């Protein structure tokens, strides 16, 4: 295992992190009330193997599976008698608007109880921003969560500051806000941002570089990872395989893992387009290295990336991600072919 410092905090995270979100289905079912997470014994087995391989960082959130990710993870941590580096997140909801800092404190205190720990190494704001909201507009939501603007983020930051002062959080940050430069500048100016969760992958490389000529993306994230690095902030990469599309299995038309969120069933047309774009990188799958391992290697080439989260549903998935670190590295020729694929808009 390799480790990188999270920004300028001194905290070192394994470059392969353990994502305990809904997509993987290990600790919380992809669809609460319909799907079921893995049995407790399997949850213990998968996390124990990850820790054995040197993974020291686990990412969860109150919003994953209606609190079930934190609850089930807490049971596993107690069974294994371990305390890895833990990041959890809170989601501001309409009932919290009258006292946002207090809501943040109460939400995290509930997370601590579910996880069975006294403090969290990292706490993040999970809400996404609301773009271009007029002064008289009402809040919009993502599910039950509020989409925020700068004033609401600043009040949430005050709640994070209180958590640090009370010793219930060592470091704080936020998750995947997109290319909202005024928001980013305001957030980083508070001095409370030590970790950013950010999508970054071969299909959309714009979080880590200027958009390549010819490539079309749904959202240009304006080199946000470099911006974070320059401001002493670590970056945890989420969706490195774009929902499983950047895998040999997906490109070959294989079925999703039984526990995983079935993106093909949820949105067949959209998933098909995504896999078609991922197929432009089939050449990265060679003897001794899978497409998904190459995708992880490429992400880790960025010096601003601290850790790459895997959504693990089985021991074999953990082992494959970790093995990316010892697989044949990307060559200069392969990097040039990646650039050519972008310039051809991934064959679209």
The answer to whether residue 172 sits within a structural domain is yes
Confidence of residue 124 (pLDDT cuts 50, 70, 90): very high
CA–CA gap between residue 144 and residue 188 (Å, rounded): 26
Which range of residues forms the domain containing residue 152? 3-243+296-313
Confidence of residue 10 (pLDDT cuts 50, 70, 90): very high
Tell me which residue of 243, 250, 247, 237 sits closest to 266, measured CA to CA: 243
Identify which of 231-245, 267-281, 283-297 has the greatest average pLDDT: 283-297
Residue 258 near residue 207, CB atoms below 8 Å = no
Residue 144's pLDDT is 63
Please state, for a pLDDT cut of 90, what percent of the chain lies above it. 70
The number of domains in the chain is 1
The answer to whether residue 59 sits within a structural domain is yes
The answer to whether residue 114 sits within a structural domain is yes
Residue 137 has pLDDT above 50, yes or no: no
Q: What is the CATH number of the domain that holds 303?
A: 3.20.20.100
The answer to whether residue 188 sits within a structural domain is yes
The answer to whether residue 325 sits within a structural domain is no
Tell me which residue of 317, 270, 275 sits closest to 296, measured CA to CA: 317
The answer to whether residue 145 sits within a structural domain is yes
The answer to whether residue 166 sits within a structural domain is yes
The answer to whether residue 24 sits within a structural domain is yes
Helix (H) or strand (E) holding 310: strand 307-311
Residue 134 has pLDDT above 70, yes or no: no
């Amino acid at each position: 295992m390799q480790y990188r410092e999270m920004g300028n905090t001194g905290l070192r995270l394994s470059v392969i992190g353990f994502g305990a979100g809904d997509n993987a289905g290990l600790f919380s079912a992809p669809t609460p009330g319909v799907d079921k997470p893995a049995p407790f014994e399997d949850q213990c087995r998968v996390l124990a193997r990850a820790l054995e391989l040197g993974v020291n960082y686990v990412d969860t959130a109150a919003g994953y599976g209606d609190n079930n990710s934190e609850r089930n993870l807490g049971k596993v941590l107690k069974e294994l008698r371990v305390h890895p580096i833990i990041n959890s997140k809170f989601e501001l909801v309409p009932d919290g608007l009258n006292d946002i800092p207090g809501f943040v404190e109460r939400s995290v205190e509930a997370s601590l109880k579910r996880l069975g720990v006294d403090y969290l190494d990292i706490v993040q704001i999970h809400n996404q921003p609301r773009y271009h909201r007029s002064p008289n507009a009402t809040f919009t939501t993502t599910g039950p969560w509020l989409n925020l603007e700068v004033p609401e983020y600043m009040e949430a930051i005050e709640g994070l500051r209180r958590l640090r002062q009370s010793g219930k959080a060592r470091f704080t940050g936020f998750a995947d806000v997109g290319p909202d430069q005024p928001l980013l500048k305001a957030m980083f100016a508070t001095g409370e941002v030590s970790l950013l969760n950010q999508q970054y992958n071969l299909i959309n490389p714009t979080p880590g570089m200027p958009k390549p000529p010819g490539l079309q993306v749904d959202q240009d994230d304006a080199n946000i990872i470099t911006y974070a690095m320059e401001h002493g902030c670590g970056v945890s990469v989420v969706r490195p395989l774009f929902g499983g599309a950047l895998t040999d299995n997906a490109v070959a038309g294989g079925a999703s893992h039984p526990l995983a969120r079935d993106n093909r069933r949820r949105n067949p047309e959209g998933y098909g387009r995504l896999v078609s774009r991922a197929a432009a990188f089939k050449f990265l799958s060679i003897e001794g290295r899978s497409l998904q391992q190459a995708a992880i290697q490429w992400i880790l080439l960025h010096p601003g990336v601290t850790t790459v989260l895997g959504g693990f549903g089985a021991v074999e998935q953990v082992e494959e991600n970790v093995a990316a670190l010892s697989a044949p590295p990307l060559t200069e020729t392969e990097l040039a072919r990646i650039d050519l694929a972008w310039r051809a808009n991934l064959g679209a």
